[in-house]
Amino acid sequence: MIDDSRAKRNVAVLVAAQAFLGSQLPMNFVIGGLAGQQLSPNVCLATLPISMIVFGSMTTAPWLSTLMQNHGRRAGFLMGAAGGLAGAIICAYALSIANFWVFLLGSYLTGIYMSSQGFFRFAASDTASDAYRPKAISYVMAGGLISAVIGPQMVSLLSGGGDATVMRFFPVYVAAAVLNLVGMALFFLLDIPKPPIPAVDAPKGRSRWELLTTPRIAVAVICAMVSYALMNLVMTSTPLAVVGCGFSVADASNIVTSHVLAMYVPSFFTGHLIARFGVERIMGLGIAILAVAGLVALQDVDLMNFYVALVLLGLGWNFGFIGATSMLAGAHAPEERGRMQGLNDLLVFGGVTFASLASGGLMNCAGGDAATGWAAVNIAMIPFLMLAGGSLIWLVMRPRTATS
């Protein structure tokens, strides 16, 4: 019988890290665009701070993956928390001097933490058996359930009051700094061995190009990119759309809370669904739900439509992204781990960076009002959903012997 006791301990630590350290990301995503709107010299650049977070994650992923391959997961995760700490402090300082460009620097450093959090799901599989791997990934993603409650509600609590200036967000960044300090201690509880130094004659694995041209890996990367990018495209615009349509910052926070809950609550059973129905079916279901989310958002701009669309957006992301992660984790060899996982997150967060940049432009500059901009954001989902759905259908229809 396979003993997954070590894996289960690591999963528990990573769930806690996902829950508490991860709270800073919904905090940043709720207020990043709103603060950017007040600080930026051009309203079309309002979501640039969020784009800088994702850009920081994209550019960090390759070297952070190499760092973890050479020195272990703990070193990489501590580096990520240090980046989150520095980013929160600099963002708070930028608000105090009302400087948009310094705010962008802090946002970029926050992206180092975002990149490290992206590797939690891979770390969960490092010591897990093949049978436990999908569940381990799913459970770690489920840790975001607590962050979904803590993060946006801290925004509502700490940015309240009658202050309408950008300084109302200052306490939120102080809280994010504290979360990084407290959360760092968790990583010393991890029990993931450092990767062994490969012998001279050890297998080197496939090149990056060979990995990317493997059908199963290519489709996993495409579906992960589309699931995450479209989720970010819509979520980034949501606070701007909600407030722009006449609702409050508290309403925006509550909608984002519902969205992030929908992202992570299904994680308690996504791994079981993958094991029972197959990863391809679950990924396909996720893509279909993302399409329905866009359709709901296009119907109206009342609060209920925002809530339903964002809940569906979170659910679709969960099935699409966790499914793609599970598919990718089983499609490369251990010696290819650092190379492939860093490349995957470079591509995924490259797509997310583009989406977050496009989000602000579509929302603020594609029409004369918030409702028109919101419609443009959701219409932009269509070609990418077609790409992901088409690639998955292509993979499923290939002969089984050719899907590796």
DSSP 67-86: HHHHH-HHHHHHHHHHHHHH
**SS3 labels along 179-221:** HHHHHHHHHHHCCCCCCCCCCCCCCCCCCHHHHHCCHHHHHHH
Contact 184, 81 (CB under 8 A): yes
Q: Which CA distances in Å does 208 have to 196, 198, 204, 205, 285?
A: 21, 18, 11, 9, 29
Contact 238, 310 (CB under 8 A): yes
Q: Which CA distances in Å does 65 have to 53, 54, 79, 311?
A: 18, 16, 11, 31
Backbone angles phi, psi at 131, to 5 degrees: -70, -35
CA-to-CA distance for 198 and 298, rounded, in angstroms?
A: 53
CATH 3.40.30.10 fits 5-191+205-402, yes or no: no
pLDDT value at residue 402: 45
CA-to-CA distance for 292 and 285, rounded, in angstroms?
A: 11
Q: Which residues contact 202 (CB under 8 A, 6 or more apart)?
A: 335
* Domain extents in the chain: 5-191+205-402
* Position 229 pLDDT exceeds 90: yes
Q: Which residue in the block uniquely carries the two structure tokens 């594609």?
A: 366
The two counts, helices (H) then strands (E), for the chain are: 18, 0
pLDDT value at residue 200: 66
pLDDT value at residue 45: 81
User: How confident is the model over 131-180, as pLDDT tens digits?
Assistant: 888 788 878 877 877 887 888 888 888 876 656 788 889 999 999 999 99
Contact 88, 176 (CB under 8 A): yes
pLDDT value at residue 404: 56
* CA 191 remoteness from chain centre: 24
Contact 44, 166 (CB under 8 A): no
Q: pTM of this prediction?
A: 0.74
CA-to-CA distance for 379 and 373, rounded, in angstroms?
A: 10
- What percent of the chain has pLDDT above 90? 37
User: How confident is the model over 106-127, as pLDDT tens digits?
Assistant: 999 999 999 999 888 788 888 8
Look at 174 and 365; give whichever has higher pLDDT.
174
CA-to-CA distance for 129 and 119, rounded, in angstroms?
A: 18
pLDDT value at residue 314: 94
CA-to-CA distance for 231 and 318, rounded, in angstroms?
A: 10
62-71, 100-109, 188-197, 320-329, range with the lowest pLDDT: 188-197
For 26-41, letters b (16+ CB in 10 Å) and e give bbbbbbbbbbbbbbbe
Q: Which CA distances in Å does 349 have to 61, 281, 385?
A: 9, 24, 17
* Six token digits for residue 301: 């701009």
